[in-house]
Amino acid sequence: MAESSIVLVHGSFFSAWSWIPVIERLSNNQVHIQTVELPFTSLADDADALRKTISDVASMGPVTVVCHSYTGITAAVGAHDAQHVVHIAARMPAIGESQSELNKDWGNPDFRTCFQFASDGTMSLTDEADQYLFNRSPQALASIAMKYRRSMKSEIPVAPIENPAWKTMKSSYIVCTDDLAVKLDQQRLRAGWADYSIEIDSDHSPFFSAPQQTADFILETHLAVVGEQ
């Protein structure tokens, strides 16, 4: 029976299935692996979905939440009942830091030209986004991800996040050194705040382009935190 859990939270525009290459490699029968399918109807709804998933698995023991890119915000808002959070090229909101204001320093301006906004606030990606998100990923996986990409209404908040969850627990960070979507200096800054960090020679989507290294780091840091409980 599993004695702890790893909860995998997919990034913006995509879905929980994107973790499959990592799940295949998280082969430790003492750890329960769970994904979250975010509704993308609002940040609050995304955070509620994460809270519910953490609640569902918490009886098994300590919980690690793994977040990618935008969902570092989701974890900051909704992961307070976990014991550890792993950020993958992810937002890691500092106290007093507006995530909306950070936009200008966070992402590659060329990648941001791939965002489309509808009149109701819904955001979607153009076809050109794949060259920034999946430049080192297997083409078959990238093509499927782009084909089934989702639109979203989940907002990047203007007001700073009060008491971001990562400040209350152990935190880890994966820096993606060939990321064409999120700036490397911002990733390295956040990695410096974490208890554990690693740099991987990958694109913005190491769950496709470097799944073994990604899985190894998630499992190693999870077990390190569980060992301290």
Closest to 74 in 3D by CA, of 132, 148, 169, 10: 10
| CA–CA distance, 215 with 142 (Å, rounded to integer) | 19
Tell me, what's the pLDDT at 28?
67
Say if residues 136 and 209 touch (Cβ distance below 8 Å).
Answer: yes
Tell me, what's the pLDDT at 3?
87
Output the six-digit token pair for 73. 């915000």
Mean pLDDT of 101-129: 94
Give yes or no for residue 1 having a pLDDT over 60: no
Give yes or no for residue 66 having a pLDDT over 90: yes
Of residues 229 and 21, more confidence is placed in 21
Mean predicted lDDT score pLDDT of the chain:
96
Strand partners, 9: 36, 67
Sign of CA dihedral 118, 120, 123, 124: negative
Q: Where are the alpha helices (DSSP H) in 10-119?
A: 20-25, 43-57, 71-78, 99-106, 109-112
Mean pLDDT of 142-150: 98
Mean pLDDT of 46-70: 97
Give yes or no for residue 29 having a pLDDT over 80: no
> Full-prediction pTM beyond 0.85?
yes
Considering the segment(s) 4-228 as one domain, its CATH architecture is 3-Layer(aba) Sandwich (3.40)
DSSP line for 153-219: -----SSPPSS-GGGGSEEEEEEETT-SSB-HHHHHHHHTTSSEEEEES--S-HHHHSHHHHHHHHH
Output the six-digit token pair for 14. 């995509």
**Would strands 4-9 and 63-68 be described as parallel, antiparallel, or unpaired?**
parallel
For 160-208, what is each residue's pLDDT tens digit?
999 999 999 999 999 999 999 999 999 999 999 999 999 999 999 999 9
For 86-95, what is each residue's pLDDT tens digit?
999 999 999 9
